[in-house]
Amino acid sequence: MIAVYESPTAGKMIRTSSGVRNLLSLGDDSASLLRQILGNAATKTVVVAMGNPYLAKDFPEVQNYLCAFSAVQVSEVSAVKALFGEIEIHGNLPVSIPGIARRGAGLVLPAEK
C-alpha cells in the first residue's frame, strides 16, 4: 500500500509544448519510486490518494486505486481498515479523472466477516 498525500488546489495546471501538465503531482524522486514499484508489482500495489484524486492521471499503470479525499487521521484509519476488510468500501467519485474514471464511478465491497 502506498499512501500519497497531496491537497487539490485550483489553478495548478500549466500548458507546455507537450500539452497540459498537472502541477499537483508527486516530486520527481517520489514519482520515480512509485513508477518503480508499479513496474515490479502493479497488481499487488494499492495506491491510496489522501487528498488529491487526480494523481492517478500521472500514473496510468496504477491498477488498484483508493481515493480518501482527505489526509485527516480518521481518513487514514478508515482507508487501512477498508483495505484489510474490517469495514465496507463504498463510494463514488464526485469528479472525473481524465483518462482514468468518470464522475460517479465507484464500487461497493462489503467488510469481510
Q: How confident is the model at residue 88 (pLDDT cuts 50, 70, 90)?
A: very high
Q: How confident is the model at residue 54 (pLDDT cuts 50, 70, 90)?
A: confident
CA distance 69 to 112: 24
Q: Which helix H or strand E contains 76, and what residues bound it? A: helix 73-83
Handedness of CA 72, 90, 46, 13 (dihedral sign): negative
pLDDT value of residue 73: 93
Which position has the higher pLDDT, 26 or 88? 88
pLDDT value of residue 10: 47
CA distance 20 to 102: 19
Cell numbers found for residue 23: 502541477
Where do we find the cell 514519482?
A: 31
User: Percent of the chain beyond pLDDT 70?
Assistant: 82
Q: Which domain holds residue 81?
A: 2-109
pLDDT value of residue 30: 84
Q: Which helix H or strand E contains 90, and what residues bound it? A: strand 89-92
pLDDT (tens digit per residue) in 92-112:
999 999 888 999 999 999 999
CA distance 25 to 97: 14
Give every CB contact of residue 60 below 8 A, 6+ residues apart in sequence. Answer: 99, 100
User: What pTM did the predictor assign?
Assistant: 0.76
pLDDT (tens digit per residue) in 5-39:
765 544 455 566 666 555 556 778 888 999 999 99
Look at the chain and report how many structural domains it folds into: 1
